[in-house]
Chain A
């Protein structure tokens, strides 16, 4: 028997060693969680919202949004000032002298050229390469490189060594082509000139986007090599890890353990470090939404940036109940102009108050496939705009928001959330059975819709298929829409639930009839939403093609007068939501936060939902001013206000 004990003892020793050897780190000043693991910390390759949110702690671009201001103003970051030429096509950025990388080296204009060149290489598959296409010559360069790579792949250069040399030669040629073709010049270390294709009124908004933040060339270059076989620059992971990554933002990355946690400490070389009120940030990776809420309730997390647990509707309902109990005080504070976080801060302590629903810069909608033929070869009735209009009118949108989503989200008549973009007037949208105030009105909307179907010769016995991906309650929304259509239009429906990857592929290949979709805006201009319906856009899953619409977008981009430009864009959106309806907006998203407003300050309630977590101050921790940072204009930090005065 003693022989049998030896392996057991060995096992015990190993387990004890492993468990006790893995000590947790001390708690960070701020601990928050994202809804899922960060995909990449390479700014040029990012597209997920939580990646961008995390990256804003580490990287800083030329300019940034003042997320605590009502106007979401552009304020200086690495660039301390800039000028725009007479023809509104050339920006000259002056970089601040004290902008430093986390290893103490200065951030130079060359770093921006290097980083933006990375994004413009088809090799790196930047999801947001379009953001860079406003720069003169950028698409010519992109296409040139793409063709050069295609040609390279078809050619045989002989031995492995010859193949390798050819790949390096192509890479050298690419670098000089970039300097030649693209309107991006580092005049000296501190001056960056950007030539645009055409005046782009929202170019600074784009510059504030994290994908345009710089990366540290000497480090990143080590991980990118031309592949001898395809000539492509092959990217190897590794430089975005703790202890390796060199970044220029408020924090530096000290560790990132896959699907476990990420930790950052203040960047000692950051130029504006005095304004930062937290010294360390920890981002544990909690993929199960319920585990996240539990972790918050037991106090190990300060902020959940996206609550996705199935019972969040109840959490929001309880918050509303809490506000109802204090409705007089709430009304009084609202009339004084306080935002919802400040109001919660001033109400009595209550666990229900820790849930916050904030409006998002995104819209949930249903796509129609507008191709003349369906995937199975039959004629597609949805190719007719009248049919799409009729179906769009007969979805009970408020009921979906109220009874299925239960997050207090506004029903949507437009693609762009109204009020989210300054200077833009949203169109009205189509009447909808959900907003009829009486049964008679409802019946008259249904009668109009039926007349449209009649006019368009909508076939009898036609089964309308609704496709959606499983999870996240899309099935319930699909059922509600199907029911609405059955009841009001008398059509037959079928539901088709798919795995997310297959669903996306079907959308891309237009292998569907109607399908759920959603879109979040990236920058503060209507084009961020409107371009997904351009006939040539890669995200046009609807195969929508209206030359008038395309022309309006084209005219708008040539229009120098900002007011007229917005009018053109508004007209374009009107075509989408009132006439052609390639998609039916259902509701505008809300995001659910969990945090104690009495403890955390510095989060923005602006409908653009962009949080700069480095602005957070943990109240009462003795670090930073420990003062609430509300959004009221008169209370905006004086430092950012004064900086504002220096720039155009």
Chain B
């Protein structure tokens, strides 16, 4: 297993490089000038200089310079040349801590003057990870529960009911579910605040909204897996040797039925944790999803690259974690 992990980790930089190249090429091709300020505009000659400073005037130069700052090469260079030390001393003389300088520098945000992409991601990612993890947990509880109920008595009323709910969960867009939950549980019956982030009460409604499509999918996967497992020989054997129905369901059948759910959980967790633009809008959550959309809309090149690279890394890592879990849960798989 160790060799598998190492091999996958070794492949990570190459996959990221490919993603970097494709994303940058696409983002570069988007029309519009990222340095345009929607309200007032800098003079053309100033824009020219800014382009030069950010290397926005040449694709190959931008490609290389951004790559070297993202990978920490730039930081290492300044460290060796003594630039970092000089800055620290100057700041100390003035009585201030030196400006923060991240090793892996995702660059400045062109749209939000006062923020670097590192700061933006650093603030938004923990929120999105927490919300996503909470949503996946809720989805697991609802999904597996509903799936098992359905599989025990296929085509019964309870099965039809859970299937219908699952269908609704998959088909209804989250802005409808989110707004409905908000209207019912925050405005009509003021149990929860209408939005924002911080503390458990604010997390519940968005986490539930985010969990529903995942829960629905998990329910269907569990149900199918369970129905299949309940018809296998080993379940018949377990029943024949007198195991309780409970033990048959949870110990024997679910263990195998859960494997497809597990493989779904990898990309699902990555997806849930990188935020949802719609849910962030409805519940006013300072998460990652909005930066994908706004980054592209504003042609904020650094922000686009930053969030895409983070998302890609997360996706690859979660798939790796799931593969490891897979082997750990089911030693038959190698």
Binding site for B on A (CB under 8 A): 1, 3-4, 7-8, 11-12, 14-15, 18-20, 22-24, 37, 39-42, 45, 47-48, 122-123, 125, 127-128, 146, 149-150, 153, 160-161, 218-219, 221-223, 225, 227, 229-230, 232, 234, 236-241, 257-261, 284-288, 291, 294-295, 297-298, 300, 499-502, 504-505, 508, 538-539
Contacts and interface: CB of A to CB of B under 8 A. Distances in A.
A237 B119 contact: yes
A8 B195 CA distance: 27
B187 A260 contact: no
Contacts of B68: none
B121 to A, nearest CB: 10
B91 interface: yes
B49 A149 contact: yes
Nearest to A4: B329
B38 A500 contact: yes
Given A259-B124, A502-B31, A505-B31, 5 more contacts: A18-B130, A125-B42, A222-B91, A258-B120, A291-B195
A153 B52 CA distance: 9
A288 B282 contact: yes
Given A127-B39, A538-B43, A257 B123 contact: yes
Range of interface residues on chain B? Answer: 35 or more
Nearest to B135: A15
Contact of B137 (A3, A15, A218, A236): A15
Given A149-B49, A230-B53, A222 B133 contact: no
A361 B283 CA distance: 33
B245 interface: no
Nearest to B290: A259
B21 interface: no
Nearest to A123: B49
Given A122-B49, A500-B38, A260 B123 contact: yes
Contacts of B41: 127, 504, 508, 538-539
A240 B114 contact: yes
A520 to B, nearest CB: 9
A560 B145 CA distance: 83
A227 B46 contact: no
A294 B194 contact: yes
A46 B297 CA distance: 21
Contacts of A15: 130, 133-134, 137
A501 B199 contact: no
Contact of B94 (A122, A222, A499): A222
Nearest to B55: A229
A645 B120 CA distance: 48
Given A257-B286, A259-B290, A237 B299 contact: no
Given A19-B200, A37-B112, A125-B46, A298 B187 contact: yes
A123 B251 CA distance: 68
Contact of B286 (A122, A128, A259): A259
Interface string B161-201: 00000000000000000000010001100100111111110
Please name the 3 residue pairs, one residue from A and one from B, whose CB atoms are nearest each other, closest first: A501-B32, A260-B286, A40-B113
Contacts of B251: 1
A297 B187 contact: yes
A42 B114 contact: yes
Given A8-B140, A11-B137, A285-B286, A501 B99 contact: no
Interface in B29-45: 31-34, 36-43, 45
21 contacts: A1-B255, A4-B258, A8-B137, A15-B133, A19-B130, A122-B43, A125-B46, A146-B45, A160-B81, A222-B94, A230-B49, A234-B53, A237-B115, A238-B99, A258-B112, A258-B123, A286-B196, A291-B195, A295-B284, A298-B193, A502-B31
